[in-house]
Amino acid sequence: MSVNESEIAATNSGGQEPDARKTSPAVVKRLSLYSRVLQAMEFDGQDKVSSADLARRLGLNSSQVRKDLAIFGQFGVPGFGYPVMELRREIRRILGTDREVRVILIGVGNLGSALMSYRGFLKQGFTMLWGFDADPVAAAQRVRTRIPIFHVDDLEQQIASRPVDIAVLAVPQEAAQGITDRLVALGVMAILNFTPARIQVPAGVHVRYVDLSLELESLSFYVQ
Amino acid sequence: MSVNESEIAATNSGGQEPDARKTSPAVVKRLSLYSRVLQAMEFDGQDKVSSADLARRLGLNSSQVRKDLAIFGQFGVPGFGYPVMELRREIRRILGTDREVRVILIGVGNLGSALMSYRGFLKQGFTMLWGFDADPVAAAQRVRTRIPIFHVDDLEQQIASRPVDIAVLAVPQEAAQGITDRLVALGVMAILNFTPARIQVPAGVHVRYVDLSLELESLSFYVQ
DNA sequence: TAGATTGTTAATCGATTAACAATC
DNA sequence: TAGATTGTTAATCGATTAACAATC
């Protein structure tokens, strides 16, 4: 140990991330949930909240809430709780949702066009930049937004003009890996994959699967 | 212990579920993944598969695969592996996807209409019975299927005529709890919730959340 | 028989929960 | 000061992985 403990504590109490990308997905997901609840509380004019409150609202354990938050700094005040506005701001900073997060969508079919105009994304502050489709004319007819739709061949050109943070994949299953390879080559580091295809990416690129059929299959198990 | 171990083993080797509903969601999810991979293998004419194979295809550990499968019975043959067709059939039986699984969708808006006509559901054998919306006429214009769309007031009448297994919620956030209460009263035991609202249900009713914004927020964390 | 692979037990790992001193 | 609630350590729980005897 070359640094003493008070130095470590000092570093972290300012709210610096630890060795960030190692945080478990479950923790990140909960941070996102806390952020939502805090948003509602802030809207209601509530100025402080305890870990027990937060836990109750989300069906979690209060120890877990405190532990999750303590990973990133000391945001609470013993005997008082957490200041709502400040905590929310901190969590947004931690998640990176305080900055512009640029999103593109590839595959403007049935599902893709719904995702492109999904209000929830806008509401949470995401910037949906562009859509891409193998048939941009047909795609444009499906979607009711002013977001420009390009031919998928223009992927390279567009991303070169303005880098994107997250790509949403809603292409046919067979096209998933090919598009993924191109996205990765273009430096896209995060993909939200709505196809059931398991896609291969180099280490460091983050993929999240939203497998709609799989959700139904899982539920099917519990209802028989 | 009133029953001896060989009796228990005998009961389970036929492929009977254990005290079923206690199985962890993670295991159920993987069963669903195995089922998919097996479907592809069956299509390719492959007749046997080892736990190591299956694990490699899904980025899992072979012990985990064997353990998951062993929960429900002895489907493998030591020194040989698992017979593809039979294993797939067993998993489908365990998941309940070998029978008709009836699904309804409430909230035929942008997202809802895309979900209603989502090919993946059909492909996995789910039966999308009906859609419901507060404005069925407008909703009918959005969706390109022959699935009938009813007024949400007709929920009770329709479900009385033919019970459903799973309800998909794609209504505005504020309407989520109200609709949920009605679904629960109608005996619906599984809800796939696409709204960000945390909904309250009595014990025994299963809810799964697909929170689209939350997925983006989680990814946002990893790309900063 | 020799080789392969299962089913299962034991070991490990990580995540959740409980407990409590520190502190506002 | 007394009461409340944090941050953190220790205990518990559950899930994953390793190991290996059983067996085809």
Most confident of A1-15, B50-64, B137-151: B50-64
End-to-end CA distance of chain A: 56
Distance CA B58, CA B96 (A): 22
Distance CA B67, CA B83 (A): 17
Better pLDDT: A11 or B29: B29
Q: What is the pLDDT of residue B18?
A: 58
Element (H, E) at B209: strand B206-209
pLDDT digits (tens, 9 = 90+) for B87-112: 999 999 999 999 999 999 999 999 99
Q: What is the pLDDT of residue B61?
A: 98
Nucleotide nearest B22, from its CA to each C1': D14
Torsions phi, psi of B73, nearest 5?
150, 180
In terms of DSSP bridges, do strands A206-209 and A190-193 run parallel, antiparallel, or are they unpaired? Answer: parallel
pLDDT at A178 over 60: yes
Tell me how far the alpha carbon of residue A118 is from its chain's centroid. Answer: 15
pLDDT digits (tens, 9 = 90+) for B113-128: 999 999 999 999 999 9
Instruction: Give all domains of chain B, ordered by start, each with its CATH number.
Output: 5-94 (1.10.10.10), 101-215 (3.40.50.720)
Largest Cα separation within chain B, whole Å, is: 62
Question: A219, A214, A211: which is closest to B101 by C-alpha?
Answer: A219
The tokens describing B153, both together, are 């007031």
Q: What is the pLDDT of residue B17?
A: 56
Torsions phi, psi of A211, nearest 5?
-110, 100
pLDDT at B4 over 60: no
pLDDT at A33 over 70: yes
Question: Average of pLDDT values for A182-194?
Answer: 98
Distance CA B220, CA A165 (A): 8
The tokens describing A76, both together, are 């609470």
Q: Which residues contact A211 (CB under 8 A, 6 or more apart)?
A: A194, A196
pLDDT > 90: percent of chain B: 88
Average pLDDT, chain B: 92
CB contact under 8 A, B121 and A216: yes
Q: What is the pLDDT of residue B144?
A: 82
pLDDT digits (tens, 9 = 90+) for B16-54: 455 567 899 999 999 999 999 999 999 999 999 999 999
Confidence of residue A224 (pLDDT cuts 50, 70, 90): confident
pLDDT at A126 over 70: yes
Question: Average of pLDDT values for B207-219?
Answer: 97
A182 touching chain B per CB within 8 A: no
Nucleotide nearest A12, from its CA to each C1': D7
Q: What is the pLDDT of residue A22?
A: 83
Q: What is the pLDDT of residue A20?
A: 61
Confidence of residue A4 (pLDDT cuts 50, 70, 90): very low
CB contact under 8 A, B223 and A206: yes
Across A48-57, A67-76, A90-99, A139-148, least confident range? A139-148
Report residues 74-113 of A contacting strand D, contact meaning Cβ closer than 7 Å: 74-82
Across B76-80, B118-122, B143-147, B161-165, least confident range? B143-147
pLDDT digits (tens, 9 = 90+) for B127-136: 999 999 999 9
pLDDT digits (tens, 9 = 90+) for A88-112: 999 999 999 999 999 999 999 999 9
Question: Average of pLDDT values for A151-173?
Answer: 98
Prediction pTM value: 0.92
Residues 10-39 of chain B whose Cβ lies under 8 A from any Cβ of chain A:
20-21, 23, 25, 28-29, 31-33, 35-36
Distance CA B154, CA B140 (A): 15
Distance CA B204, CA A52 (A): 25
pLDDT at A46 over 90: yes
Instruction: Determine if strand C comes within 7 Å of the CB of A185.
Output: no
